[in-house]
Amino acid sequence: MTQKTALITGASRGLGAALAEALAPTHHIIAVGRTVGALEELDDRIKARGGSATLAPMNVTDAGAMQTLCRGIHDRWGHLDLWLHTAIHAAPLTPTPHVDVKDLEKSIACNVTATSLLISYIAPLLGLEGRAVFFDDPVAGTKFFGSYGATKAAQVALVRSWQTETARIGPHVEILTPQPMPTATRARFYPGENREALHDIHDEAARLLATLQK
């Protein structure tokens, strides 16, 4: 049987890396991330679990790089079984009147525009039977989360439209909501938080993946 393939955008650290490790025993992992060293460390952990990975050190906002990646996936495997999108730009928290224009533009580029382009590139690879998974973070409208909250909400709205459009014909589109985890992104938002009270990232990855099997 041909091994299943899983593309993870935002795989170098955090939830993306934990999902890659959890899927490694059953899927060939195509790991996209900006940090070469972190991807190489992920590759070592995947190999230690008996899995295999293809590393793609690139930025999801680089449309040309993403097109090349997707063409490479098509040429090598012909399709994708699973796409998990965890890449995010987490702009600093700030009062809404002080939102930095450059931070907002980066948030839109990564969280909204790149998501839209990736959907258009990856949907043909998923076909009717593949599965795309996105992750909600319901902070929109809470204080100081202007750039991140607004663009994350826009991303989820975009995905919900795709989810509704494909409900009967595929691919399968899922939106999951992770429990709070001690990631680097969360540490930027909540410095000084008691991280021992947060959910273990590997346990949470396993829980999220288990919901896809129901």
Range in 48-57, 127-136, 188-197, 201-210 the model is least confident about: 188-197
User: Can you give the pTM of this predicted structure?
Assistant: 0.95
Across the range 89-110, mean pLDDT stands at: 96
Give the pair of three-digit tokens for residue 112: 């909204």
Across the range 174-178, mean pLDDT stands at: 97
Answer yes or no: is pLDDT of 159 > 80.
Answer: yes
- Tell me which residue of 81, 78, 26, 33 sits closest to 54, measured CA to CA: 33
Indicate the domain borders of the chain.
4-208
Across the range 55-66, mean pLDDT stands at: 97
- Tell me which residue of 163, 199, 157, 193 sits closest to 178, measured CA to CA: 199
Q: How far apart are CA 46 and CA 23, in angstroms?
A: 9
CATH class assigned to 4-208: alpha beta
Q: How far apart are CA 123 and CA 205, in angstroms?
A: 23
